[in-house]
Amino acid sequence: MQKPLRALLFASLTVIAATGPTGSRRIAYAALDGLNAVAPADGRLSVMTYNVQGLPWPVAWDRQEALARIGNRLAAQRQSGQQPHIVLLQEAFTPEAAAIARRAGYPYVATGPDTSAISTLPATAGDRAYLTSARWDRGEGLGKRVGSGLMILSDYPIVGQARMAFPAFACAGFDCLANKGVLVAHLAVPGFATPVSIVNTHLNARKAAGVPIARSQRAFARQVSLLADFVRAQVPQGHTLILGGDMNIGGDPARNAAFFGQWTRTGQTFVTPALGGLRRAIALPGQIDRADLNASSDRAKDWLFARDAGGRAMTVVQATVPFGREREGAPLSDHYGYALTYAPTGQPIETGVRLAALAGKARL
């Protein structure tokens, strides 16, 4: 179905998806001692980002089988010790999409803002002017019909969380019907002196928002500004940080400049086009999933960035695409799900498969 028609159907929805507790305040870390967590292999962390297209009917239909297959495939990877340590999901709006975590066997799950989360961020004069021209016929000003659709699945305990829903002045068109925002989870990972902070987000669509491009561009720019400030406030400098999600940048030069300019403004220099994990992964020797990686990179919507505790960009040592082109039939989503394995800066790059930790012991 064409996206504009899907968006019109979305506007008629009255479904509310429960996505867990809300709020955007910082939560104190739990004690890190005595946690019975599975140890990673030599300080390396594997992270997957995947927009699973878990949209409710009638925006999408016949999604139950594909979503179940996603969970089952991750479970099969776990059986062989090859599952990503951490998974970032977007568009996990439906119960079937949320069930991926249970099917896949991840013991720790964080969820993003639900429909009740309301931003209290102050509006500027420009923001107020933007709101006066809200398009109710395109989903603006009608309230939230679904939550953020954000989930973080983890093999390691979540010792702190923070959430932020984007305010009404930072959304455009049909995207406003979902309570898009930011989810931060701080993980207790053995071998790391401080929590590892994971950030998941899904930014405003461009043309598919159903409003003039200039309007969706303004909302996108406001979201990125709020996102960069939120991450800087919520993640201490001494933390390893992995940022990912459906950034909806695409091939638009204005979006590219708006996105990366905000990270430069806030001094978070590990977020640049050249340091995007996917682009770095494509350059790895012996890459078996190069075609799918190239396809996702060319689309430029799904991104991962990582810095170590010293603020340096982390090294990508392996890349796989568990959810790309299928041998039979269509892909399981309208996005590809790829996984990157990161190593702290300075570790040598090695080729070959490194398996996830299993039963408390690293497997090589």
**pLDDT by 10s per residue, the chain, length 364:** 345 444 444 444 433 333 333 333 344 444 444 444 455 656 789 999 999 999 875 565 579 999 999 999 999 999 999 999 999 999 999 999 999 999 999 999 999 999 999 999 999 999 999 999 999 889 898 889 999 999 999 999 999 999 999 999 999 999 999 999 999 999 999 889 899 999 999 999 999 999 999 999 999 999 999 999 999 999 999 999 999 999 999 999 999 999 999 999 999 999 999 999 999 999 998 888 999 999 999 999 999 999 999 999 999 999 999 999 999 899 999 999 999 999 976 554 343 333 344 333 333 2
pTM for the whole thing? 0.87
Distance CA 237, CA 25 (A): 18
H helices present in 133-266, as ranges? 213-234, 253-265
Angle of the 213-234 helix axis to the 125-132 helix axis, nearest 10: 140
362 assigned to some structural domain: no
pLDDT of 125 reads 96
**CATH number of the domain within which 182 lies:** 3.60.10.10
Residue 53 CA: distances (Å) to CA of 21, 74, 191, 335, 349: 22, 16, 35, 8, 34
pLDDT of 181 reads 98
Three-class DSSP category at 303: strand
Asked whether the beta carbons of 302 and 49 are under 8 A apart, the reply is yes
Distance CA 97, CA 201 (A): 16
Name the helix (H) or strand (E) containing 25.
Answer: none
Domain count across the chain: 1
73 assigned to some structural domain: yes
31 assigned to some structural domain: no
355 assigned to some structural domain: no
Q: Residue 211: which domain range?
A: 3-24+38-343
- List of residues 6+ apart from 102 with CB closer than 8 A: 71
Residue 56: is the preceding peptide bond cis (ω within 30°)? no
359 assigned to some structural domain: no
47 assigned to some structural domain: yes
The amino acid present at 335, given as its one-letter code, is H
Residue 60: name the closest of 114, 111, 96, 6 by CA: 6
112 assigned to some structural domain: yes
363 assigned to some structural domain: no
